[in-house]
Structure 1
Amino acid sequence: IERIKRPSSAILTAKQRVLYILGSRDLAAGNVSQALKRFQGAKALSSQDKAMATECDLWIGDCYYRQGKYAQASKAYSDYLRYSGANSSNRMLATYDLGYSRFGEKRYSEARQNFEKVVKQPGNLGQDIVADSYNRIGDCHYYASAFSEAAANYDKAYSLNPEAGDYALFQKAMMRGLARDYKGKLDIIDDMMSRYPTSGLMPSALLEKAESYVALNRADDAVKVYRDLVKRYPTTSQGRNGYLQLAITLMSQGNRRQAIDTYKEVISSYPTSEEARVASDDLKRIYADDGNLDDYAKFIASVPNAPKLEAAEMDELTFRAAEKAYLNDNAATSKLRDYVSRYPGGQYEPQALSYLATAAVNAGNEADALQYATMITERYPDSEAAEDALAIKGEAEYAAGNGEQALATFRKLESRASASRNIHAARLGIMRVSRDLGKYDDVVDMADRMLASTAIPSTQKNEVRYSRAYALAQLGKGDEAVKEWQQLAEDMDDLYGAKSAYYLAQYHFDNGAEKKARTEVERLVDSNTPHQYWLARGFILLSDIYRKQGNQFEADEYLKSLKENYPGEESDIFMMIDQRLK
């Protein structure tokens, strides 16, 4: 959630301000653990400034939420709401955040109450946030089995934000199905697929469409949709499930030979997947009924990595003990490492490696995260764990500066992702790497896809909008970029608002509109933005403007003052200053 967080008007101590600013930078850079320490430190130093301590609670809640520690996040948000003023501009945002953290805790009734407050009095929150709140209210009703109420709220979400309404329509269709109105469910799914042909929910929509046909006893139609699903999305979990359900449906139609061939296709194509395990169990029963278990054993033996006939009991017991220790303490990974070492290729190795990769990410150990994620993608490319592993692998490669490798990984993830979060992670990764590599058409394409879906987290929307504008400017579409930058620059407390303000001014300067450039850059330097790097870039640009206008003395004075007082250590800032003072 992009915030409008400001410290109190009281003068903060230097140390408080440093911790506060560095914490926001760390959080923006994804260094959540470090950011949390800084905000906690800033709060601890604020005994004389209650307002500052309260603002820190809001950030602390964000940190805990990103770490998946929802109970701690709920407490921090609750503390903010308890101690902030009734007229605080962030109260409804905190209420919205609290709804999400309680949702993460599965406290759906309480979460619903928070989201209902947001839609009743959204304050300065945007319409997309209100629409998202209606979606979450619908989800809370859904978990309470109040399907008609859930559908009504999905309707409201769609009506508020139809441009990104794929999730709302899909969930509305699901509610029709739960009410056994399969014809209505099919109509809504067809509408959703027509309106949002690039939606990340398309594989799920096809799977639900086929299952609706099954419920209506229209098996032939179901078979057609299953075949379409496995043809278009063969590497997704829905595609694998579609293959499995296709086999089951063929079997129910009496097409025994086709069913057997399809079960074999599932096992041969995705030998390390859960669908292959189910298919092997079904196939085993079919061969047993026919008295041909020897043929079944020969087939299984012919498929590398196919499910074994029996799972080793010690394998499972060792893993379950390691899993329990990890779930109780996410830093306790020694037993998981021991399991992977003792049982290479074990039944639960994909899940164990997934836990280890996630733990490495949370600990900031990119090298280990890359190692474990790569092991999953190479050994178990068809497993459920492989999808999240690709996301981790791409991020680790990107962080290590391996742009081309990261781009290939993110593109692979996009082609096979079934979870909305991973579709978004893939597209965000492609956008970021393409932005760095100068592939600006790809940046615009990925940004448009993300902005057209409700799957994009609000915390990243400004980055996507900024990246799109930057790419448009590089492609010679400056007028479009300016419009986007102007909107983002309204909030310079946000990182991408500050960056947009700078690039807006730089664009005007580069195009000879010095008066506009000076107006925009002065807005930036007067904004009290916490993003000191972009503030410094603004001062350098202001110096360039004065210099071009013939005011050499004032241009140099800005640079000298900046050189003496800039608190950062970025070498490019000092290099730009020195070059201009020569």
Structure 2
Amino acid sequence: MIMKQRNGNIYLKPVLTGVLSVLLAAGYAQEDKKQQENGESTVEGVDTRPRVMDSIEIVRDYRPMLADAVKIRRSPDMNINRESLENELRLIAAGMYFQQNKYREPYHSPLNQKYPNASRDNIDNNRIGILAYRGKEYERAASILSKVKPNDAFYQSSILGLGHIALESGDKVKAREAFYKASQMDHDPDLKADGLYNYAKILNELDSAQAALQPLKEYISMKYPDLSPETDKSETTESRMAQILKGTSNFQSAVYLLESFTNRDEKAERILQKITYFRGLEFYNERAFENSISMFMRSEKFPYDKEMAALATYWKAEAMYEVRKYGEAVDNFSRFLRLPEARTTSVYNYANYALAYAAFRINRYSVAADYFERYLAAEGSSLDKNVRYDVIARLGDSYLSMRNYGRASDYYDQLINSKAPNQDYALFQRGILQGLQGDNAAKLNTLRSVVEKFPQSNYADDVAFEIPYIAFTEGDYDVAIAGLQKMIKQYPRSSYVPRALMTIGLVQYNKNDSEAAMATFQKVVKDYSKTGEAAQALLSIENIYLDQGDATSYIQYATNSSVTNLSEGEQDNLAFQASRRLFDRKQYGPAVEAINAYFDKFPKPRQEKHARYIRGVSLYHTGHPEEALHDLNIILNDWTSQYTENTLLTVAALYLSLKEYNEAIVHLKKLELNSDYKDNYGYAVKNLIICYYEIGDYEQMNRYIKILKNYAGATDEEIATAHMYAAKAYEKQGDKASATKELNLAALKSKSAASAEARYMVALQQYKNKQYDQAEKSAFDVIENMDANDYWVAKSFILLADTYARKGNTVQAKSTLESIIENYEGDDDVLTEAKDRLQKLKKAK
């Protein structure tokens, strides 16, 4: 007799040494090795083991590769004729200011209110003359205004009016004389200012632009007496104009002033290209890189001076490098190098170097190597040695990162053979290369030679970490811990200290010393909270807590830790993810406890719906259907979400297990009718057949049987279920022939539970018909061919025992029942039924 044997859920704690990856894309340079020893057992396809601690990268960016990779920064050439440029700017700005502003018109009111004691004749003649001017009666207006006598504001106003009349008649020289005369009078300051402006404007029109600057400057100072170019922050047109005219501009005001004029001609745009470029250079030298980028982007769009436009692109790329926009820097350096005008500039070849560095920073190592080599080839022997050595080191790093170890070694050897200032770095990298090629013995010798030859090397702590780490990767944990502890003591301020502690913690964990490992990881979190290792340590602490099934303590610890100064939202997510990981492990009991702790910690959690789903499903799996329904129904009563479909499946399964078939029908029909849930259509229809059978609604049952049989997407198991429940219905109705036919169809359809049940029912029917030999044969058919269906296999063994008993073989019947009682582990009616049968056989004896 064959019975299915089940092993206990036995597991060994994995020996996890961590991963020290060759993550060359991030500049790492260590061996990648993980050693695991684990035994595992699963039940019915469900992994019940605790999840092993995730692989942990116990290194950050590999310090030698990036800390030493410092691009040489160039300063832009500011050798410009600033005086000439500023004068040109003043002329252009003044011209555009005049274009934007009309002549100041003569006026009478409010002079009559300001000067009521003036001569009545002057008041009247000025008023009538201004009215005639506005009525375009220029000859009459000139005659009347000429009658106004000197020495008051009305006379000053009349002179302005006569200047405008001369303008209207085309006599600009006469107009200039009148405006100048009015500008020299002090009777009324506003009229004097208007005279200054009109005089400056007409000078500009008479091709005396340079002469126009002084009266314009006087006009602005007089018209806006409170305006200070140094302190005014309002940035009006006049304040910018004042700065330009005063000659103290740093080009900033000029840029904004010219950009505010919409009718710029080519001459204005040419000067705008220059001042945006030079202002960009000023910003760059002031290290205001974002501002410089803005100016260079303005300058490069002008097509007039193509070399300047090319240089604007180059310096924009340099500024982008400085603000760590390396991808954009690569794009702009590349664009510069393609411009024909770039070839004649002094920075052309240096752009190869800068592009290479930018590409290196974003792990585009093949691009970096290409442009570093172009730079070396173009510069030749004229290149400064220190720059050459830096480029050679970066070429070695680039090829190392591309895992082209031969080329990398060639470049490092050049540094070593040349006795370059950075040869200790090259020697260290040679050791790393040897380790990557699997020669740890050579690596050890090379690393030791670094500190022997260069005892003051900046890489001494790197060596002190690397040597014991080799022992760690080879599984020599005692040697590794001793070496790492020595390194920590010798170099307490090294960036490798948190890495060393992480390694020690992993060794302790793998030795099943969770308490010591926890203490080590917590030290990393406490003392090195701003490092990448602190986040890794927090993950390790989580794994230890979850291994112990204590998510609540982990949530409390994590949300109170100093790692990254978690916001409330991040704390919420951290607590939730711990619960989720337990759920993913199928540790449903601890998952429920973790979700309860999550709700206790955050009364209004951000991931409430997902949390309720996890708790509902976990409660279902732990045998608490009523409590599960509370959470799951809250989800279903809300708007449709990403959890709705799975929740419907779980709730339907719950009601089926509770034999509340009407409630199950409600949720199954939602699955059936919603086109978004088509993947579960067959499941819904199959279980609707079961529900309608159980409540005795054979009409609806038959309707769904027909639907399922005609459904192209139905599985063999679903079709088998349809045949089997059709058979059950026929049996209840007394139609044994049709029932047998349906059972045979179900039995032949698949090896699913439904087919196993159908075959069992065929055997049972044969037994009831006293066809014991056939029943015995059919029972063996289930046992031998349906071994994945424990319940029906066990039921078939009981039926087999019944046939033995009917045929007089009570010894074999008892033996069969005893074997079931000894080996069957299911929590259902099998054991009770087997024990009852055995008891009856013993009494019959």
TM-score range, shorter chain: 0.3 to 0.5
Question: Whose helix fraction is larger, Structure 1's or Structure 2's?
Answer: 1
User: TM-score w.r.t. structure 1 length?
Assistant: 0.45
Greater RCO structure (CA 8 Å; 6+ sep): 1
Q: TM-score, normalised by structure 2?
A: 0.32
